[in-house]
Structure 1
């Protein structure tokens, strides 16, 4: 028994095994943190509502052209100007879009900034433009496009 207490040659092997074990644990923790960081950063990029913003912008562009044509037709049947009809129809469109997106917990705002509508006979002229401010907020992302210039002429 006395010979086992005095023999210290195996302690270095045990100590180096312990050091290797601790370094492998530290390396595993670092690799795990790198994977988690990559997951969260890629997940944050996916949460950006680019498709909703793109849909709002494209719908507003399409409906602005339709509203301009409808405002021209209404101008022929009532005493209001094309601009007054356009503002009235666009505010109705804004209210409808707000209600649709409010159901999903998102807030949007569509406001007219400026408009240059000129009618040539029965059509809106080709250089007619409408400037629209589009804002979007879903609680995590705030987006504002000021102004979005939309050509409504044919």
Structure 2
């Protein structure tokens, strides 16, 4: 029995087992953190509203072209200035877009600034429409000031 008290060779086995157990726990924690970081990185990229911003800009380009046609035709028939016609149509568009995006918890502002005539035009047709586009939601702030839209023929 006295020989077992002096035998310390088992302590090395216990110490190496403890070291291996700590190493495995550390590796498991690091792998878990890597998985969580990958998830949150992908979730952040998906959460960015780039499609909403792109859709807003495309719709604004389409409406600016239509507004330019309406303003130009009203100028020809009723002598209303092109600037007033563009301002009226773009303000109406802004109100409608604000209501639609507010339903999703987002703030949108499309502010009409001015228009420029075509360079080589003799009939005073509209070449560009300048607008300020602002998009805000809980995470993202986007502003395009000015957004210059080509609306010539």
Please say whether Structure 1 and Structure 2 have the same fold, judged by a TM-score greater than 0.5: yes
Take 1:82 and 1:144, find their aligned partners in 2: how far apart are those partners?
26
Deviation at 1:57, TM superposition (A): 0.4
- Normalised by the length of structure 1, the TM-score is 0.90
Counterpart of 2:52 in structure 1 is 52
Deviation at 1:147, TM superposition (A): 1.0
Counterpart of 1:131 in structure 2 is 130
- Normalised by the length of structure 2, the TM-score is 0.91
Counterpart of 1:101 in structure 2 is 101
Take 2:79 and 2:113, find their aligned partners in 1: how far apart are those partners?
23
Whether contact under 8 Å (2:83, 2:114) holds in the other structure is no
Q: Are residues 1:152 and 2:124 paired?
A: no
Matches within 5 A, 1:81-92: 81-92=81-92
Deviation at 1:32, TM superposition (A): 1.1
Whether contact under 8 Å (1:132, 1:148) holds in the other structure is yes
Deviation at 1:25, TM superposition (A): 0.6
Take 1:51 and 1:153, find their aligned partners in 2: how far apart are those partners?
26
Residue 45 of structure 2 aligns to a residue whose secondary structure is: helix
Take 1:101 and 1:21, find their aligned partners in 2: how far apart are those partners?
54
Counterpart of 1:140 in structure 2 is 139
Q: For the aligned residues, what is the CA RMSD?
A: 1.7
109-118 vs 46-55, greater mean Cα deviation: 109-118
Whether contact under 8 Å (1:83, 1:117) holds in the other structure is no
Query: For residues 66-105 of structure 1, what are the alpha-carbon distances to aligned partners after superposition, in whole Å with 9 as ceiling and x for unaligned?
Result: 1111112222333421111111111011111111111111
Take 1:100 and 1:117, find their aligned partners in 2: how far apart are those partners?
31
Counterpart of 1:22 in structure 2 is 22
Take 2:68 and 2:34, find their aligned partners in 1: how far apart are those partners?
53
Which stretches in structure 2 are left out of the alignment for 5+ residues? none
Counterpart of 2:6 in structure 1 is 6
Whether contact under 8 Å (2:111, 2:133) holds in the other structure is yes
Which stretches in structure 1 are left out of the alignment for 5+ residues? none
